[in-house]
Chain A
Amino acid sequence: MKTYSWKGLIAKILVYLILIAIVITIFYPFVFMLLNSFKTKSEYYTNIFGLPRAIQFANYKIAMERFDIFRLGWHSLFVTVSSILINTLVATMAAFGLSKLPFRGSKTIQMLILGCMMIPGQVLMVPVYLIMSQIGLINTFASVILYYVATAIPFAVFMLTTQCGNIPNGVLEAAEIDGASPPKIYVNIIFPLLKPSVVTLVILNFLTFWNELLYAMLFLQTESTRTLTVEITTSIGRYTSNMPLLMTGLLINCIPTILIFVIFQKQIAKGVTAGAIK
């Protein structure tokens, strides 16, 4: 839209100003936390908004020990990665079955799976906890993994079934004539073709599972199973008088997800709009 009028130019500048202001509000909290993570406690209270005197990592060392970052981070990682792997497998298989291997009732099952997308997780708090408790899975990683997979299946199947439906039948029929059974077709044709959507889902799932609080808190209560997010969230309250340490702890928890953001921006954007384009 070419505008040579003054009004057009002023409007454009205004738009840029607003957008840049928004970018500042987006990043400022993060920058604030980062700068303060390098300050000592006393330095912070004399100089809240300025630059740190020096970049020193004492807070990081303390945080790593106090919050047992490596061990608990490993718990989070294990839970997250396991859930992602299982979810990917189960959802791609289901998508293949629903779109290319129809059987009586598969349409109903498809609607059921999609219907589960509407169930809010908070409503299931009590029964899922009781189920896990009855089968003795509380304080094992299996409990969270199984639950995360279950909650991720509806959306994953939704995305993948559409994608899978776009695979031309001719390719599959040719493979069948060559004697390939459905499992072979799944491994050699379907899964590779679903990769783009799978990548998007993997990234979205990583963010969701790593950051999850409620169920990780309910199911993994002991020191030997707790996740990093739960630990940081629940014990950080003790450090409200030591802002720099608090900021450091919170930042450390965010490092994996921030890294993912930096590397996989495109996939995140794709995943966000996937549900909207019906």
Chain B
Amino acid sequence: MAEPAASKGRYYRMRRRWGKIFVAPAVVFLLAFMLIPIVSVFVLSFTSWDGMSTIDFVGASNFTNIFADKNFWQVIKNNFIFMFIGTPVWTITPLVVAALLYSGIKGAGFFRSTFLFPTVLATSVLGIVFKSFFGLNGPMNALFKSLGLDFLAINWLGSGTTSIPLIIMIINWAGFGSATLIFLAGMSSIDPSVYESALLDGAGWWTRFFKITLPMIFNVTMFVIILNVIASFTSLFNYVFTMTNGGPGYETTVMEYLVYLKAFRSNQFGYACALSVILFVVVMVISTVLQSFNKRRDWMD
């Protein structure tokens, strides 16, 4: 591409001017609704604004209050439970499904497409659907009772210990289709000749999968892991809002939901911004750490 500084010709000047004009709208949108807000979040986190009266700067007292609140630690714990239990579930399931589809069966395309079906449904709608399915007197419990599995016919959404795994499984059900596609894309970019020498050596399916396929999709796997980890902090709101309202108590509340509660149910905008800052920092740190595992093993011979 032309080096703008070195090209003073008429065409290049015209290109430079138009370049700025064409890029400007996007920049304006992002400035107004992403960059200024992100700065505002940091600034407002040091205030105790309630949205109506004056903005009072209170230093770091929002943060000290947050860290002193035991509910906050419950919430953070919930997020980490989603992260540590959800991520393996949400990563391994599509990986297994992709492996099944990659094994050369007919109709892989049909399965791939149908598995994508849940991704077009609104997560809030899914939340309500499954809330009614797993209600105390709902269809699932009726099914369990009729199969004699009475011990499964419990109040699923009545406590954090059962709701969180349930939500994790629902998210798995809803999202594995797209992750499967990502894994398949990674697998199909593996040169088939790599398998030839392994086949000649008599390597069976397991060996081929674990010693060749898996290592070669390392980057793709990391990508899916990062997506899932980020999702455990940013994609739970709809489910929590529709299924449990964070309850009972704070047992299923997650950071995004807590921000919503503090901002729009208690009008504590400064406090909510402080929470947002913490959420933002946590997500950034974790994804940066995870991404550092990436580039290294790109070319494996």
Contact = CB atoms under 8 A, between A and B. Distances in A.
Interface of A: 1, 11-12, 15-16, 18-19, 22-23, 25-27, 29-30, 32-33, 48-49, 89-91, 93-94, 96-98, 100-104, 106, 109, 112-113, 116, 118-131, 133, 146-147, 149-151, 153-154, 157, 176, 181-183, 186, 207, 210-211, 213-214, 218, 229, 232-233, 236-237, 240, 243, 246-247, 250, 253-254, 257-258, 260-261, 265, 268-269, 272-273, 276-277
Contacts of B117: 26-27, 30, 261
Interface in B206-243: 220, 223-224, 230, 233-234, 237-238, 241-242
18 contacts: A29-B130, A33-B129, A49-B139, A49-B143, A90-B29, A94-B25, A103-B19, A104-B4, A112-B30, A124-B38, A125-B259, A151-B33, A211-B123, A229-B124, A232-B128, A240-B135, A247-B129, A276-B186
B11 to A, nearest CB: 6
Interface centre among B23, B129, B259, B269 (most CB of A within 10 A): B23
Given A261-B116, A276-B223, A101 B22 contact: yes
Given A127-B38, A253-B125, A272-B182, 15 more contacts: A15-B105, A29-B129, A48-B142, A49-B142, A89-B25, A97-B19, A104-B5, A116-B34, A127-B37, A130-B44, A157-B26, A207-B119, A214-B260, A218-B264, A250-B125
B104 interface: yes
Interface string B270-296: 001100110110011001000000000
A41 B250 CA distance: 34
Given A1-B104, A103-B20, A127-B36, A210 B122 contact: yes
B72 interface: no
A237 B97 CA distance: 35
Contacts of A269: 112-113, 116, 181
A261 B29 CA distance: 30
Contacts of B34: 116, 119, 124, 150-151
Given A18-B100, A250-B129, A102 B15 contact: yes
Contacts of A15: 100, 103, 105
Given A49-B143, A127-B44, A97 B113 contact: no
A277 B185 CA distance: 8
Nearest to B173: A25
B248 interface: no
Contacts of A27: 114, 117
A246 B36 CA distance: 41
A97 B173 contact: no
Given A26-B118, A182-B18, A240-B132, A147 B259 contact: no
Contacts of B30: 112-113, 116, 150, 153-154
Nearest to B272: A126
A119 B287 CA distance: 11
B211 to A, nearest CB: 17
Chain B, interface size category, equals 35 or more
Contacts of B15: 100-103, 182
B63 interface: no
B251 interface: no
A90 B120 CA distance: 25
A134 B33 CA distance: 13
A97 B21 contact: yes
Contacts of B36: 127, 131
A145 B176 CA distance: 29
Contacts of B164: none
Contacts of A153: 26, 29-30
Contact of B32 (A49, A98, A150, A237): A150
A122 B32 contact: no
A264 to B, nearest CB: 9
Contacts of B26: 90-91, 93-94, 113, 153, 157
B115 A26 contact: yes
A236 B259 CA distance: 24
A71 to B, nearest CB: 19
B125 A126 contact: no
